[in-house]
Amino acid sequence: MNVNCNDMELINKLIELSRLNFSEEEIERLCQDINKIRVLLNQVSTLSKLNIKPLYNVWDNILIPPVKIGIEKIDIYDLISNDRIYQKKVKIPWRGE
Amino acid sequence: MKKETAFSILEGLKNGSIDFEDYALKRLEIIQKKDPIINAYISLESEEFIRDRIKEIKDDLASGKKMKIPGLIVSIKDNISTNFLPTTAASKILENYVPPYNATVVEKILNEGGIIIGKTNLDEFAMGSTTEFSAYGVTKNPWDITRVPGGSSGGSAASLSYGSADLSLGSDTGGSVRLPASYTATVGLKPTYGTISRYGLIPYANSLEQISPMARSVKDVSLLLDVIKGYDPRDATSLNYEYKEFDEKKFKICVPDEFIEGSENPIKSTIYNLLEKIEGEGIIIEYGAKFDKLNYALSTYYTIAFAEAASNLSRYDGKLYPNYNEGHSYREMSENTRRNNFGFEVKKRILMGIFALSEGFINDYYIAATKGRRLIRDEILKITKDCIIAGSVSPVLPPKIGERINDPLKLYAMDIYTVVANLAGVPALAMPAGFYNNLPIGIQFMAGPFEEKKLLALGSFIEDKTGLYGIIAGD
Amino acid sequence: MIRLKYKIGLEIHTQLTESKTKLFCDCDSDYRKYEPNTNVCPICLGLPGALPVPRRNPLKLALAVADSFNCEIPDYMVFTRKHYFYPDLPKNYQITQYEKAGGIPVCLKGILRFFDPDKLLWKSVTLRRMNIEEDPGKTEYSEGNILLSEFAYLDYNRSGVPLLEIVTEPEIETPKDARKAVEYLLLTMEYIGAINPRLEGSFRVDANVSVEGGERVEVKNIGSTLDLEKALKYEIFRQTKIVEEGGKIKRETRHWDSIRGVTKPLRSKETEEEYLYFPDPDIPAIETKPLLMEAKSKEFLTPDKIMDKILMYGVSQKIAWSLVTVKPSAELFLESVRIGANPKIIARILAVDYKGLMKKSGKNIHDKNNWPKKEVLKELSSLITNKVYTYDEIKYNILPKLLENNENISSLLPERIEPSNLIIAVLNEEKKAVQDLISGKKEALDYLVGQVLKKAKGKALDPKLVRKIIEINIKKT
């Protein structure tokens, strides 16, 4: 792509992983924005070496799985129209990928 | 100025001075008149639906059912699932999606007699601070339609501010109810993480966000909080808890420089003035406390939010939702659907989230951020043990439409004071502090976990003192 | 052909078919009985806003399995998300327990001891890890072919069913041992009540083989234990041949084609897979101890413990193992012996004769209801020990009838008759056979015994006794 961008290789990899797509014009903006955002996020990298336990759930809490959750089954037809269903199965284009 | 609070309406409905139908249908009229300009709503209930709903509520009342908000008008942010109105999260990718189930909070509101009038606008998937990133148009600030109402719950704030609803539900991931509250002279409370069920909330960043009550007064917010709170087995992060009791009206407030000094001057002076006004009568204020960890709050917050968002949004590939794009293969279908139906800001955040989680970067970004989060949380827990933290909600006055969204850093900087409560899990209240050139200015209070009652008692005391409650823009 | 040294490691994906619920919702784990897409809810369809809530039963079963293989069980388990786009994965991420990204699995190290019934001894393989994860939905390809089909048809009934992934160290020595190890593992899980291994698709094995001097080759998608042995034999043969011809074994992943009986290379991806693992923010850590205690509140009889118990009654190892491999028969053995039946008689009935009859008549030997009641067995046993009937009389006259009516024995008991008159009658009628027997044709004796039994019309006769009497009569002549 004919775009002025230092990080094109990285950005292409991220696009591939995300299943997104951008026009050339968007890519240019994207590249600028991502550079800026990386500058912001880089501030956090200074913490990576600290010997601190990561905090994933804010209260470090322990779950006791409940006995009942009370959620009812639903009908797939509530979500998608009939023409996207084949013999009660959801029909999706495939061709190997 | 006309003052209208949910409490005053509730009283009127109870004693018969306000008629259920007249009142509710008048709200629809107001919406029809004002919303073409403000654009607070994405979808609306019909008149017929509302009449039926009122019949239902009246029958319940007649049969002696005790309800907390019978007949009050509630607007709900469009990222909270309702099985009677589409739920789009303001994204084209969920166009026409009507969830086959209700969020737990929606069930609770219906059970307590609330009338849900419509679904309000937001930044797509709640990713934004101005409500400009909606696939369904920008929401305007009812105080000045050239300005943004704040975001991402801008539609909810605007719906309250121009008097179309008594109560509203927003969601707060990094300030998404507090920022709009402060820009519209309304009130928003981000509750303690785990105290409001997230079941049915379309996720942006699961570990940070809570569904949050909004209203035109602190007392109204308490009323709505009381309706929606509580343990829910359908949310594994929901806690079995009680909010801490609080009777004594004694408050120690501390104002760390970091939470106010970087704000625009009118904001600083309005807040300092207010604090001065309330000092004494059981309120002690301490200035000059330190919170130097604010330096990396934004980077910590955005790293975690992006990572969780990228993961949450991977499900939108078209296969199970009404809106999708054709493709030759599954890869093509999912790429086309995602390319054509996500907005640019959402795509950017997905890419950054994948970046933060990908091999070679995860330690320096996502994992580093979870460490930063622990440092920030521990520090906030320490400070709030001793005092309620006060400061600005936003460092800037409501920006002009288009002013901030072209530079991500400028946009993200608006959240600097609000993200801390989400990182730390603690409750935070935003309420009116005053006005500058007819633009609302808010103040933020942050307390320790489960100290909602204390926070609301303080807020209630302040609003009585200032008289800044129940305000409707333009009236 | 040269003999190369090699090592085998296994990755066994087992469905907790008997867990009743899916891993994160209350839909049915037994999805096979539903019409497509009717065993689904907002959680297992991954609808926006629906949240995974770990269910107790699958977790308890997984912990019970880990415990029965002497696993090191961490204090907490932590779930992670694994991201990849696929039609059968509603959220486009799978919730699993990946250690390297903050996840903690149910088992970190254990030992799988398994019985080798041919050599009659116990062997073992080290378990590296066990983790629980959700099964994706089921994909059908419009033209049956994964590469060329125009459409994929999705049934999400299976989406969210709990899978227990069990990984061994690469230290298994033969394809046969690999099969025995997996069979034993499945048997243990069956005893615990975690799996019905006979359900179609209830387990899947990926095997890796490294021959001396070559790199690791993984064979994916093996659906039965017989296929596992075949696939490994084929793979070792294939690799040995390459080495013999001077080639090198390169690292690759292959696919088992069970119809053609060969392994085939999988399309290799241009880029390395990147799964973006991180801990699932919707699921806090789960303490394992209380769940394990609850799981162990009822005693699990694992195959080795059952085997020991049976051996204590003086039953041979071969017969004991034969009982153990069929759970209802082993349980029935212990129950009937406990109420006083004779162990050797019962073992023979259950492990040999009745089982044989059931198989012959096409009855499911794994269905408890197809076996007789313990009281019936006890009665049969005492009829034999009290010499009312001989074992063979029971075997020929009663066991076949039990197939139809295994509730009530008294109506089945044959009237006992004295054989002498019948024998004399038969010998008088069957002059030719008698002549044949005298002239040394042994088959004639079988024929004559058969005729006598026929004349008895279902009344109890001991064929051995009949045979003896005929022989004596013939000798007299």
CATH number of the CATH domain containing B449: 3.90.1300.10
pLDDT score, position C1: 65
Distance to chain A for C148, nearest Cα, Å: 5
For tokens 């949240």, name the residue.
Answer: C51
pLDDT score, position C272: 58
pLDDT score, position C458: 67
pLDDT score, position C466: 81
Token output for C181: 């190890």
C305: nearest Cα among C187, C130, C169 = C187
B357: nearest Cα among B304, B420, B319 = B304
Of B199, B315, B319, the CB nearest to C51: B199
Interface residue B206 vs chain A (CB under 8 A) = no
pLDDT mean for each 10 residues of chain B (475 residues): 89 97 97 98 97 97 97 98 98 97 98 98 98 98 98 97 98 98 98 98 98 98 98 97 87 96 97 95 91 95 98 97 95 96 97 96 97 98 96 98 92 97 98 97 98 97 96 86
Query: Considering its fold, how many domains does chain B have in total?
Result: 1
Residues 6 or more apart whose CB falls under 8 angstroms from that of B248 comprise none
Indicate if the pLDDT at residue A40 is higher than 90: yes
Give the end-to-end CA distance of chain C in Å, rounded to a whole number.
64
Asked if C194 and C303 count as a contact pair (C-beta separation under 8 A), the reply is: no
What does the angle CA C122 – CA C128 – CA C134 come to, to the nearest 5 degrees? 110
Asked if B310 and B358 count as a contact pair (C-beta separation under 8 A), the reply is: no
C-alpha dist (Å) from residue B66 to B14, B15, B24, B53, B105 = 12, 15, 20, 16, 18
Mutation target to probe the A interface, by most A beta carbons within 10 A, among B173, B355, B376 is: B355
Domain of residue B64, residue span: 1-475
Distance to chain B for A2, nearest Cα, Å: 20
- For residue A76, the 8-state DSSP code is G
Token output for C52: 């995974």
Q: Which residue out of B161, B176, B212, B460 is catalytically annotated?
A: B176
Identify each DSSP E strand in C275-412 by its residue range: 278-279, 285-287
Q: Which residue out of B81, B129, B134, B152 is catalytically annotated?
A: B152
DSSP element (H, E) containing B7: helix B6-15
Of B321, B363, B407, the CB nearest to A79: B321
Token output for B97: 């999606």
Distance to chain C for A35, nearest Cα, Å: 21
DSSP element (H, E) containing C470: helix C463-476
Distance to chain A for B338, nearest Cα, Å: 6
Indicate if the pLDDT at residue A15 is higher than 70: yes
How many other C-beta atoms can be found within 10 angstroms of the C-beta atom of residue B385?
8
Chains that touch B (3 or more CB pairs under 8 A): A, C
How large is the C-alpha radius of gyration of chain A? 22
Residues 6 or more apart whose CB falls under 8 angstroms from that of B260 comprise B267, B268, B271, B272, B390, B391, B392
On the 0-12 / 13-18 / 19+ scale of CB atoms within 10 A, A29 is middle
* Banded model confidence at residue C448, pLDDT cuts 50, 70, 90: confident
C139 by DSSP, 3-state: which? Answer: strand
pLDDT score, position A1: 45
pLDDT score, position C267: 65
Of C37, C146, C149, the CB nearest to A76: C37
Question: Do the chains contact at A13 and B358, CB–CB below 8 Å?
Answer: yes
Identify each DSSP E strand in C288-348 by its residue range: none
Residues 6 or more apart whose CB falls under 8 angstroms from that of B169 comprise B74, B75, B76, B77, B80, B105, B109, B156, B211, B212, B213, B214, B224, B228
pLDDT score, position C403: 85
Question: Each residue of C62-84: pLDDT tens digit?
Answer: 999 999 999 999 999 999 999 99
Question: Do the chains contact at A79 and B100, CB–CB below 8 Å?
Answer: yes
How many other C-beta atoms can be found within 10 angstroms of the C-beta atom of residue C242?
15
Q: Check residue C195 and give left, alpha or beta (phi > 0: left; psi -120 to 50: alpha).
A: beta
Asked if C43 and C51 count as a contact pair (C-beta separation under 8 A), the reply is: yes
pLDDT score, position C419: 75
B189: nearest Cα among B427, B366, B415 = B427
> CA torsion sign, C308 to C314 to C316 to C322?
negative
Give the end-to-end CA distance of chain A in Å, rounded to a whole number.
24
Mean residue pLDDT across chain C: 91
Asked if C272 and C91 count as a contact pair (C-beta separation under 8 A), the reply is: no
What gap in Å lies between CA C211 and CA B230, rounded to an integer?
59
Of B87, B236, B315, the CB nearest to C53: B236
What does the angle CA C449 – CA C452 – CA C457 come to, to the nearest 5 degrees? 130
Question: Each residue of C247-286: pLDDT tens digit?
Answer: 888 888 999 998 999 998 886 554 557 999 999 999 999 9
Chains that touch A (3 or more CB pairs under 8 A): B, C
On the 0-12 / 13-18 / 19+ scale of CB atoms within 10 A, C462 is buried
C363: nearest Cα among C393, C314, C400 = C400
Interface residue B65 vs chain A (CB under 8 A) = no
C155: nearest Cα among A71, A76, A93 = A76
Helix-then-strand count for chain A, H and E: 2, 3
DSSP element (H, E) containing C357: helix C354-360
What does the angle CA C168 – CA C173 – CA C174 come to, to the nearest 5 degrees? 110
Indicate if the pLDDT at residue A4 is higher than 80: no
- For residue C268, the 8-state DSSP code is P
* Banded model confidence at residue C430, pLDDT cuts 50, 70, 90: confident
pLDDT score, position C268: 59
pLDDT score, position B5: 97
Instruction: Give the CA count within 13 Å in the CB-facing half-sphere of B95.
Output: 14
Indicate if the pLDDT at residue C414 is higher than 70: no
The number of residues in chain B equals: 475
C122 by DSSP, 3-state: which? Answer: strand
Question: Do the chains contact at B315 and C91, CB–CB below 8 Å?
Answer: yes
Token output for B193: 């993480």
Give the strands of the sheet with C262-265, arranged side by side. C110-116, C121-134, C162-168, C6-15, C203-211, C217-222, C252-257, C262-265
How many other C-beta atoms can be found within 10 angstroms of the C-beta atom of residue B306?
28
Question: Do the chains contact at B371 and A54, CB–CB below 8 Å?
Answer: yes
What gap in Å lies between CA C63 and CA C149, rounded to an integer?
40
C64: nearest Cα among C12, C3, C19, C32 = C19
Fold of C419-476: Arc Repressor Mutant, subunit A (1.10.10)
What residues pair up with B444 in beta bridges, in sequence order? Answer: B391, B430
What gap in Å lies between CA C264 and CA B229, rounded to an integer?
57
pLDDT score, position B1: 59
Q: Where are the domains of chain C?
A: 6-294, 301-402, 419-476
Indicate if the pLDDT at residue C43 is higher than 50: yes
Indicate if the pLDDT at residue A2 is higher than 60: no
Q: What is the ipTM of this complex?
A: 0.96
Q: Which residues of C touch B233 (CB under 8 A)?
A: 53
pLDDT score, position C77: 97
Indicate if the pLDDT at residue C379 is higher than 70: yes
How many angstroms from the chain centroid is the CA of residue C232?
20
